[in-house]
Amino acid sequence: ASNDPALSLTVQNASASAKSLKLLLTVACIGTPLVLGYTTFVFYTFRGKVKLDETSY
């Protein structure tokens, strides 16, 4: 452990860089609607009750 203030952990030096935050915001803004759209598609595709027949478990 050191008492040197330059080596202390602050909000400013512990945060990610602005470039990486902007990149991840872009990825989230593109990825979130894709995930929601895919989830809606799968829910719509598999909607309804399951029909059991003699080959069902």
Write out pLDDT tens, residues 2-56.
Answer: 788 778 888 888 899 999 999 999 999 999 999 999 999 999 999 998 889 988 8
| Per-residue pLDDT, 55 | 87
| Structural domain total, the chain | 1
CA 50 – CA 57 distance, rounded (Å): 12
| Residue 37 belongs to some domain of the structure | yes
Report pTM.
0.63
| Per-residue pLDDT, 1 | 56
Domain housing 24: 15-45
| Residue 38 belongs to some domain of the structure | yes
| Residue 56 belongs to some domain of the structure | no
